[in-house]
Amino acid sequence: MARLQTFIVSALVFIAPFAYAGQWGLALGTGAFQGTYSMAAAYDWSQTHQVELGLGRFPFAGRDEIQINFGYRYVPYAFELGDLSLVPFALGLTLNYALNQDDYFVRNPGKYPDPDYYEQTGIRAGVELSSQVMYRGDWRLLYKVVLIDSGAIAIVNNDSSYAENFLSAGLSFQYFFGK
């Protein structure tokens, strides 16, 4: 519990200075290879381009670990319905960087021909498909599905059909300041 509190306080300290800029927001989420819980600063630099930078917490080998998450999202169009805006389709890219380089994203958990079967890196990339519902531009609910790079490799190399190895769905609740 103390680690979670430290994570929340650290994330708020990181995000708070940006709250007064009109396009900045706070995103709280779960899943989509972003961590069991994640918190991020979100920024819209136009109506079609969104970015997020934050921290995610996930369990690994009986302990909690932290990762840094970056995401870019392209929103081609939105439908306006009074106070609501609906984004039926957005396409994005994600990067995840594990802070614990000893275990996460670097050791192979399964039976592979040798220990260096996959490239040894702490960074994982993914492709995101998402939908959004926005209320007055300030409040957003985002549903996303991410295909991660190591999963795509497993599909090709191992003919893997286990979706949990390469796909993860998630939800993100966002609030934008001063819109």
Average pLDDT, the chain: 79
Extract the residue ranges of the chain whose pLDDT is less than 70: 1-22, 101-122, 154, 158-165, 178-179
pLDDT at position 63 is: 82
Q: What is the pTM of this model?
A: 0.75
pLDDT at 71: 94
Structural domains of the chain ordered from first start: 2-12+26-176 (2.40.160.20)
Q: Which pLDDT does position 61 carry in this prediction?
A: 75
Position 41 scores a pLDDT of 92
HEC-encoded secondary structure of the chain: CHHHHHHHHHHHHHHHHHCCCCCEEEEEEEECCCCCEEEEEEEECCCCEEEEEEEEEEEECCEEEEEEEEEEEECCCCEEECCEEEEEEEEEEEEEEECCCCCCCCCCCCCCCCCCCCCCCCEEEEEEEEEEEEECCCEEEEEEEEEEHHHHHHHHHHCCCCHHHCEEEEEEEEEECCC
